[in-house]
Amino acid sequence: AQTVTQSQPEMSVQEAETVTLSCTYDTSESNYYLFWYKQPPSRQMILVIRQEAYKQQNATENRFSVNFQKAAKSFSLKISDSQLGDTAMYFCAFIPYLYGGSQGNLIFGKGTKLSVKP
């Protein structure tokens, strides 16, 4: 079975500080894509960052970066200089890239509720 585990149901961080959200996954596929999505109270799911499994270099998007450890099947998200607007549920997800070019479906973790405190 393909699963995503986010071991931190809730986290809090002070504004301007750095926080890391953990994610581990399990799949037998060798090709896949990993994502972090953010869902603020408005419920709109927003893509934060994406990582292709075949790339060794960790993805970075402004204040957001990942630590991708393929052998350990770990994909953590680091948020630097946290802002009040970062308060949201964060979901780790992956999608297998299947033989023949088709893709499977997004598999999500249960989420981590992040609160940024002033």
Partner 1 sequence: KAGVTQTPRYLIKTRGQQVTLSCSPISGHRSVSWYQQTPGQGLQFLFEYFSETQRNKGNFPGRFSGRQFSNSRSEMNVSTLELGDSALYLCASSFSQINEQFFGPGTRLTVL
Which residues make up the interface to partner 1 (CB under 8 A)?
A: 33, 35, 37, 42-47, 50, 91, 93, 97, 101-111
* Alpha carbon 108 to its chain's center: 9
Q: Phi/psi zone of residue 73: left (φ > 0), alpha (ψ -120 to 50 degrees), beta?
A: left
Q: In this structure, what DSSP letter does residue 97 have?
A: B
Q: Around Cβ 25, how many Cβ atoms within 10 Å?
A: 19
**CB nearer partner 1, residue 56 or residue 105:** 105
**CB nearer partner 1, residue 57 or residue 105:** 105
CB of 75 to partner 1, least distance (A): 15
Task: Answer yes or no: are the C-beta atoms of 23 and 6 closer than 8 Å.
Answer: yes
CB of 35 to partner 1, least distance (A): 6
CB of 104 to partner 1, least distance (A): 7
